[in-house]
């Protein structure tokens, strides 16, 4: 099952009750101009503070990389103690292993030769994780 993917773009029709605009179609066309991308990933690995999930669909990758803020939904039952636990779960279903697994540990960090730190160069500058039951 591919993760759900949504965008909160800059200028589409607004949802009347919330004042927030949401795009669930044409994600490829709207991801670069969205303010917020929302997606669901498979697991949260508590030991290393990393999220892991199926990102086989291009839309799910675009939603998680192009907007400046990425909001991730994780089911609380899918919080795992360590990376080995995640690998074991994926190994149980090798015939259903996603073509593309993504590991998210927060905004990208890079520094130039003078050690000037830049955050969010390759992907969103902010990551928000919401655990749901």
**What pTM does this model have?**
0.77
Q: What is the 3-state secondary structure (H, E, C) of 9-62?
A: ECCCCECCCCCCECECCCHHHHHHHEEEEEEECCEEECCCCEEEEECCCHHHHH
pLDDT of residue 130: 93
Residue 10 pLDDT more than 60?
A: no
Alpha helices in 52-111 (DSSP H): 58-65, 83-92
pLDDT of residue 58: 86
Report pLDDT digits (tens) over 89-104.
Answer: 999 988 888 888 889 9
The answer to whether residues 72 and 129 touch, using CB atoms and an 8 Å cutoff, is: yes
pLDDT of residue 9: 45
How many angstroms separate the CA atoms of 4 and 23, rounded? 12
3-state secondary structure of 32: helix
pLDDT of residue 131: 95
- pLDDT top residue among 79 and 125: 79
pLDDT of residue 7: 52
| Domain 5-132: which CATH number of 3.40.50.10420, 3.40.30.10, 3.20.20.80, 3.60.21.10 | 3.40.50.10420
- φ and ψ at residue 4, rounded to 5 degrees: -70, 150
């Amino acid at each position: 099952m591919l993760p759900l993917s949504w965008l909160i773009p800059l200028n589409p029709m607004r949802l009347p009750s919330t004042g927030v605009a949401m795009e669930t179609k044409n994600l490829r066309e709207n991801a670069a101009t969205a303010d917020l991308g929302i997606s669901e990933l498979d697991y949260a690995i508590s030991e290393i503070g990393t999220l892991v999930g199926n990102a086989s669909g291009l839309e799910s990758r675009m939603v998680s990389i192009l907007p400046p803020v990425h909001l991730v939904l994780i089911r609380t039952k899918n919080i795992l103690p360590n990376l080995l636990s995640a690998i074991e779960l994926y190994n149980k279903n090798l015939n259903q292993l996603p073509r593309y697994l993504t590991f998210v540990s927060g905004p990208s960090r890079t520094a130039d030769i003078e050690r000037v730190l830049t955050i969010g160069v390759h992907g969103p500058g902010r990551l928000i994780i919401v655990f749901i039951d």
